[in-house]
Amino acid sequence: MDFLLSFSFFLLSLSPLVSSHVTNHDDFLNCLSRRINDNTTPSKVIHTSKDSSFFSILDSSTQNQRLSVPTTPKPVSIITPVQATDVQTVIRCARVHGIHVRTRSNGHGYEGQSYVAYLRSITFDVDNRTGWVQTGATAGEFKTSENQAVQIINKWQYVADKVTDDLFIRATLERSNDNTVQASFSGLYLGPVNDLLVLMEVKFPILGLEAEDCTEMSWIESVLWFADYPKGESLGVLANRERSSLSFKGKDDFVQEPIPESAVRGLWRRLEAPEGSLAKIILTPLGGKMSEIAEHETPFPHREGNLYEIQYLAHWRGEEDKNKRETQKYLNWVDSVYGFMTPYVSKSPRGAYVNFMDIDLGMYLGKEKSKYEEGKSWGVKYFKNNFERLVRVKTSVDPTDFFCDEQSIPALLESLNDM
């Protein structure tokens, strides 16, 4: 069995109880060392800041460069299970010594945090169906004016969620290589290019798609293409390069009615601001199979009635994080775009996509409200009416709230968590 699970323990230096926390932590590590199975070497499991491998393990799960700056709180230890019994040992020792455990693994999110635990590796096969990607050309390739781009985006809003299930078209607003704002349209079609050209001529002729705009590849190759991985380049090399160079922050919304052209122009203006030099606004269509599934059938509820999901992403150079004022202007840019879009997106609640964790929606502080009351403030944004059902499931399968993070589903049996 392959374990990709690690546990992180945080101590906040501003806490007046930090000395007792440190004592608890030391007692916890002693307990863990004594109980680890004889077949496991403790040094492979327990990592503290004194270990040479500690920061490499920590960095391997950090996707957002701004989490690497010295002012960001860091864990005091990382526990990496080697076998199943190690997980059970961590749970026992943590409960005995009052240690709060968070599970974390590599993942994605606006805050660079993901805490879904994978206890075994899974492989799967994909078929060899081919796809035509890059269905369209960027506005830069047309040398398209703002007026033309706004017209194309406006038309996209009315057709992207209603085309055949074999076709996906995403729209992106960002700066081009010559530093002007551009609109680009990328997509995936499962089928021959001639069929695609006929379909686009009927459904989306304003884009002007031609065969030269299309590239044939397998479906799995298209996954890498959409993730901006250059063909033939090592994924690990590229991921490390991106992690070491850029910081980011993002927010997202669900759009249920086409936004007016004035709003599209408003987004265009914000990308022209200095803080928008590396920013992206991504419009991802829904519809298709997603709309055929009722919102109560799976935890993800944002289905029929949503045209597309829209992301507002600010990127900036990692070295700018050394100056809080420089960082803050990019954070303010995201908040400004999010505020501007308030009249045009879903309401009651204003929805959010759970895979893009947004700490601005709230997090567990453990003060006046219960975890359930705190969790509901963002839980309904992610899960709508499914939140209450998820709370019942959580209470049933994880009553002690072992698998927890800043925005995890709360368990109702909170008295056990406070022991």
| Residue 82 main-chain phi, psi, to 5 deg | -100, -30
Residues 377 and 249 in one domain: no
* Domain-located, residue 357: no
69 and 200 belong to one structural domain:
no
Beta carbons within 8 Å of 156's beta carbon, 6+ residues apart: 169, 171, 185, 204, 283
Within a domain: residue 349?
Answer: no
Are 323 and 375 found together in one domain?
no
CA distance 293 to 289: 7
**What tokens does 282 get?**
């991504």
Number of structural domains the chain divides into: 3
In sequence order, the 6+-apart residues with CB closer than 8 A to the CB of 304 are 290, 291, 292, 294, 295
- Give me 181's structure tokens: 């704002």
What are the strands, taking DSSP E only, across 20-74?
46-48
> Quick check: is 109 in a domain?
no
- Compute mean pLDDT per 10 residues along the chain, 419 residues long, and list them: 40 30 74 73 76 77 68 75 75 75 57 35 29 36 73 96 94 90 92 93 93 88 80 58 73 97 96 95 95 95 97 90 87 97 97 93 86 94 97 93 88 55
Same domain, 197 and 331: yes
Contact 161, 307 (CB under 8 A): yes
| Residue 350 placed within a domain | no
pLDDT value, residue 39: 59
Indicate if 34 and 67 belong to the same structural domain: yes
Residue at a domain's end among 104, 138, 166? 104
**Tens-place pLDDT, residues 270-293:** 999 999 999 999 999 999 999 999
**DSSP H or E run through 219:** helix 219-226
Q: What is the pLDDT of residues 190-212, one digit of tens each?
A: 999 999 999 999 999 999 999 99
> Do 218 and 136 touch, CB atoms closer than 8 A?
no
Say what the pLDDT of residue 342 is: 98
User: Are 74 and 182 contained in the same domain?
Assistant: no
Sign of the alpha-carbon dihedral angle for 350, 353, 359, 363: positive
Instruction: Give pLDDT, residue 100.
Output: 66
Nearest to 107 by CA among 5, 222, 9: 5
Q: What is the CATH number of the domain that holds 100?
A: 3.30.43.10
- Same domain, yes or no: 167 and 280: yes
Please tell me the pTM assigned to this model.
0.74
Cα dihedral value 273, 146, 252, 106, nearest 10: -80
355 inside domain:
no
Nearest partner of 30 among 96, 84, 88, judged by Cα: 96
- Cis upstream peptide for 349 (omega within 30°): yes
**Is the same domain home to 163 and 98?**
no
**Claim to verify: residue 288 and residue 221 sit in the same structural domain:** yes
Provide the residue range defining the domain that includes 395: 368-417
Q: With residue 396 as reference, give the H or E element that holds it.
A: helix 386-397
| Strands 6-10, 75-79: pairing kind | antiparallel
Tell me: do 141 and 99 sit in the same domain. no
Domain identity same for 53 and 201: no
> What pLDDT sits at residue 61?
63
- Is 404 found in the same domain as 335? no
